[in-house]
Amino acid sequence: MPRNFRLKRQIDEMVGANIERLRIKSGLEPKQLARGLGVTPGMIRLYERGARGLNIAQLVWFANLFKVSLDEMIYGEEKGPRIIPFHRLKVV
């Protein structure tokens, strides 16, 4: 598996776990999120499992909905800035 694919997969899984955590914390059902985003509840479950990645507009939508930063959407609860080394970022 190419290195940049593994990194993307890890990010998708982290974001998905955070969507699920924030959704549950907010008392929302997958169906409610799906309606707001214009997707099916099954798609929300794919996002939460990390099986489907989000585009930047969707990531911003979730961050605004949950009133969290993009950092928190990606990395989890705020613990200060996190940096992915630039040399590890690849255009996918």
For the chain, which residues make up each domain, given as ranges?
3-74
State whether the Cα torsion 4-5-10-16 is positive or negative.
Answer: positive
Q: Is the pLDDT of residue 64 over 70?
A: yes
- Which CATH fold would you assign to the domain 3-74? 434 Repressor (Amino-terminal Domain) (1.10.260)
Structure tokens at 10: 């890890």
How confident is the model at residue 17, as a pLDDT?
95
pLDDT at 90: 55
Give the helix/strand (H/E) hosting 69.
none
Identify the band that residue 84 occupies on the pLDDT scale cut at 50, 70 and 90: low
63 contacts 73 by C-beta, under 8 angstroms = yes
pLDDT at 78: 64
Q: What is the pLDDT of residue 4?
A: 72
Q: pLDDT (tens digit, 9 = 90+) per residue, 16-50?
A: 999 999 999 999 999 998 998 899 999 999 999 99
